[in-house]
Amino acid sequence: MSAVPTTPDIVILKPAKGWLSIDLKELWRYRELIFFLTWRDIKVRYKQAALGITWAVIQPVLTAVVTTFVFSRGLNVQTGDIPYPLFMLSAYLPWHLFQNSLTRSSGSLVQNANLLTKIYFPRVIIPLASVMAAMVDFLISLLILVVVMVAYKVPVTLHIFWIIPFTFLAILSALAVGLWFSALNVRYRDVQQMVPFIAQIWLYMTPVLYPITITSPVWKFVYNLNPMVGVVTGFRWALFGKTPPDATIFVSVGAVLLLFVTGLFFFRRMEKTFADVV
Amino acid sequence: MEKDTSIIVQGISKRYNIGVTQERADTLRDLITQSTSKVGGFFRRKPEARVGLDYIWALRDVSFEVKQGQALGIIGRNGAGKSTLLKVLARVTDPTGGYGELRGRVGSLLEVGTGFHPELSGRENIFLNGAILGMHRKEIEARYDEIVEFSEVGQFIDTPVKRYSSGMYLRLAFAVAAHLEPEILVVDEVLAVGDADFQRKCLGKMGDVANAGRTVLFVSHNMSAIQRLTQESIVLDKGSVLMRGPSAEAVDYYLNRGLSKMGERFWEPDEVPVTAAPFRPLAIRILDKNGVVSDSVRSVDPITLEIDYELSEDLTGLRVGYYLFTTRGEPVFTSFDTDSTELFDQFPARAKGTYSSRCVIPANTLNEGRFVLGMNASSYRIKRYFQDDQALSFSVDASGAPGTHWPEARPGAVRLVLDWTIEKRD
């Protein structure tokens, strides 16, 4: 047995009052738990599935095939010189990352209720780990994008690295909403019923399946406030060098940051009641 | 905080709100949730279950100190606040009032196997569970072999735990938890699991932890385990500390005072968890040969055990029964009201209403001493509605029983009249 440390930390127990900030030091101490929970999520999702993690690739490919038939062949949506499958995938992958992160993190606390009521750890780890798990899927599916680009003879340049900041924006947006939703869901399970609808409406408000050029200029400003509009146009810009995102993206980044920070505080405030009400 | 003090708790209280959120609509959203939950009705408890109460104090002004390396027992009947106290100490939930300090890492075994995932293999669960309990990956790797050996599931370590027997599952879960080495270990009733051999192994492991200079807080209904593992204990009742003293004294105090002295016990509505519905225990009592409620009965007389309960709905397959234990926690017998095939066939279902289930322990069965009567109401393999392992205690007096002409204490829980013959063989 290891020796008892001579000066262990002192833990204070007292009623939590008011707004708490995030204890980054503690979060760092629990970094391995974030890793293990992420690993568990991925492992469990593809367990006992013959195709295993290849599903992370198959799903976007099948979606691309179906949407190509519906939108490109059927509805004759024009995407300029970019072939529709590539046009769609370039936006669908970051969108899928966002949707996955949002859906999983929103339900995460309730799904892990047994942990919340038995063990102490910084609660924010749970939604964080579900976003990380979605991230792993995303990274795998990026391979597809590269393969499809090569197949359509679209040059892959270093410009592609511009997708990194937009990927972060997608994750941050998902987490900002996810923090609010996961904490609310502990008390009001209505949230988990609402999330799929919200995700669906959000998809229609984002130029994933259609080009941004068909949107009405009247509502342009409001439309651009959606951070996912910035993410999707940013991805297409990084990959194909098309129109860069509108400057409104800075407004939506600001809004996301605000939502994220208030989400963190709200989460911390609700945190102390999780074990009692979940 | 003194250097050798491990835990200080000052005036800790914990209040739980009951039903308030369902009763009052502050916002439109509250209102909407209220009406949807009424329509859905499946995840809210019924507000009328706790009439007139909108909160309960699970802990009231609890104060104590524990020195480093001390093992402190916490005794109390169901609902006394033991689990809430451990949850507060483990920081799972915040206290409503008061202050406390803990020196060092707190490891809690509030329930073994927390965070185990059925789809993952034994090996994967060791790492996952270790991380959840606060171990670092290096620590887990260092103790991995020890954990596997302790768990005795070595050859199935790469099998998903959903294929494990419940015994294997518990052994693995306890093995991980037992190899966690925090400065303060908080243990709640883990010894209630597994077979006798494994329980002995667990007790041994807990003893090692205490001997290694770590502080242990130990909650159990097993009075002999409390006495073996702890030097001192506190007795909790209705959220308050009734007394603190050497464990033998605390156990004695608890058995003689914490439980009803009168041979009869009534359950207040707030002592019965909402999950027990539609079953609600009303009263349990010991009757002597004259049918009089009594705390002290004679070994040479028949003893009647009676329980009254109410069913708010028709119930299929219900069985109500007793566990009898000695005060040291050794089981004497278990018996259910539908054990006999006649009654089993007669009561496949019980209609809504009030019932009494009654049985008689024949004369000349129990030895002298104090016994603890537990009760259980369940439908086999469907649901356990309510269980109280210490519903009541009573004394048996052996005066007049065979063999009492020798004034010596006889070991054993039973004192049967056996059919002896003596034969001269030459």
Instruction: Please list every residue in chain A whose beta carbon sits closer than 8 Å to the beta carbon of residue B36.
Output: 190
Range name among A112-121, A230-239, B15-24, B212-221 with the lowest pLDDT average: B15-24
pLDDT band at A153 (very low <50, low <70, confident <90, very high): confident
Contacts of B311 (CB under 8 A, 6+ apart): B278, B279, B280, B318, B350, B351, B352, B353, B354, B355
pTM of this prediction?
0.70
Q: What mean pLDDT do residues A186-194 have? A: 89
Q: Residue B154 is encoded by which pair of tokens?
A: 């070595």
- Of residues A220 and B380, the one with the higher pLDDT is B380
Q: Give exposure, B388-417, as e/b (b: 16+ Cβ within 10 Å).
A: bbbbbbbbbebeebeeeeeeeeeeebebee
Q: Is residue A3 part of a domain?
A: no
Instruction: Please list every residue in chain B whose beta carbon sits closer than 8 Å to the beta carbon of residue A11.
Output: 91, 101-104, 106
Q: Å from A162 to nearest chain B CA? A: 35
Q: Å from B422 to nearest chain A CA? A: 59
Nearest CB to B114 within list A14, A39, A115: A115
Q: Does A29 touch chain B (CB under 8 A)?
A: no
Residue A20 half-sphere exposure toward CB, CA atoms < 13 A: 15
Question: What is the maximum span of chain B, computed from C-alpha positions, in angstroms?
Answer: 97
Q: How far apart are CA A211 and CA A218, in angstroms?
A: 16
Q: What pLDDT shows up at residue A20?
A: 66
Contact B120 A115 (CB under 8 A): no
With CA atoms as reference, the chain A residue closest to B140 would be: A32
A169 close to A253: Cβ distance less than 8 angstroms: yes
**pLDDT of A21 over the 80 cut:** no
Q: What pLDDT shows up at residue A6?
A: 44
* DSSP conformational letter for A86: H
Nearest CB to B132 within list A9, A115, A189: A115
- Looking at every residue in chain A, the average pLDDT score rounds to 85
**pLDDT of A57 over the 90 cut:** no
B133 close to B143: Cβ distance less than 8 angstroms: no
CA angle, A147 then A151 then A156, to 5°: 65
Cis preceding linkage at B278, omega within 30? yes
Q: What mean pLDDT do residues A165-170 have? A: 93
Q: Å from A112 to nearest chain B CA? A: 8
Contact B104 A5 (CB under 8 A): yes
Tell which residue, B384, B366, B367, B383, has the closest CA to residue B375: B384
Q: What pLDDT shows up at residue B39?
A: 47
Q: What pLDDT shows up at residue B20?
A: 46
Q: Torsions phi, psi of A181, nearest 5?
A: -65, -40
**CATH fold match for the domains B5-257 and B264-397:** no
With CA atoms as reference, the chain B residue closest to A43 would be: B120
Tell which residue, B404, B248, B405, has the closest CA to residue B328: B248
Q: Does A14 touch chain B (CB under 8 A)?
A: yes
Residue spans per domain, chain B = 5-257, 264-397
A133 close to A41: Cβ distance less than 8 angstroms: yes
Q: Does A27 touch chain B (CB under 8 A)?
A: no
Q: Does A81 touch chain B (CB under 8 A)?
A: no
The fourth-level CATH superfamily of domain B5-257 is P-loop containing nucleotide triphosphate hydrolases (3.40.50.300)
With CA atoms as reference, the chain B residue closest to A45 would be: B119
Contact A11 B134 (CB under 8 A): no
Tell which residue, B146, B62, B52, has the closest CA to residue B99: B62
* DSSP conformational letter for A68: I
Q: Which regions of chain B are under pLDDT 50?
A: 20-28, 37-52, 258-260
Q: Residue B6 is encoded by which pair of tokens?
A: 């491990």
CA angle, A172 then A207 then A238, to 5°: 65
Q: Is residue A8 part of a domain?
A: no
Q: How far is CA A52 from CA A47, A49, B296, in A?
A: 7, 5, 66
Determine whether domain B264-397 maps to CATH 2.70.50.60. Answer: yes
Q: Is residue A105 part of a domain?
A: yes
B305 close to B323: Cβ distance less than 8 angstroms: no
Q: How many CB atoms lie within 10 A of CB B349?
A: 10
**pLDDT of A7 over the 60 cut:** no
Task: Quick: pLDDT tens for B168-212.
Answer: 888 888 888 878 777 888 887 655 555 656 667 777 777 777 778
Q: Is residue A97 part of a domain?
A: yes
Q: Dihedral angle at the C-alpha atoms of B293, B295, B298, B302, nearest 10 degrees?
A: 40
Q: Å from B276 to nearest chain A CA? A: 19
Name the residue with tokens 């020196």.
B103
Where does residue B122 rank: exposed (0-12), middle (13-18), buried (19+ CB within 10 A)? buried
Instruction: Provide the ipTM.
Output: 0.82
Range of the domain at A166: 24-263
Q: How many domains does chain A have?
A: 1
Tell which residue, B378, B266, B129, has the closest CA to residue A121: B129
Q: Torsions phi, psi of A43, nearest 5?
A: -55, -45
Task: Quick: pLDDT tens for B52-90.
Answer: 457 888 999 999 999 988 889 998 876 788 888 988 988
Q: How far apart are CA B57 and CA B53, in angstroms?
A: 11
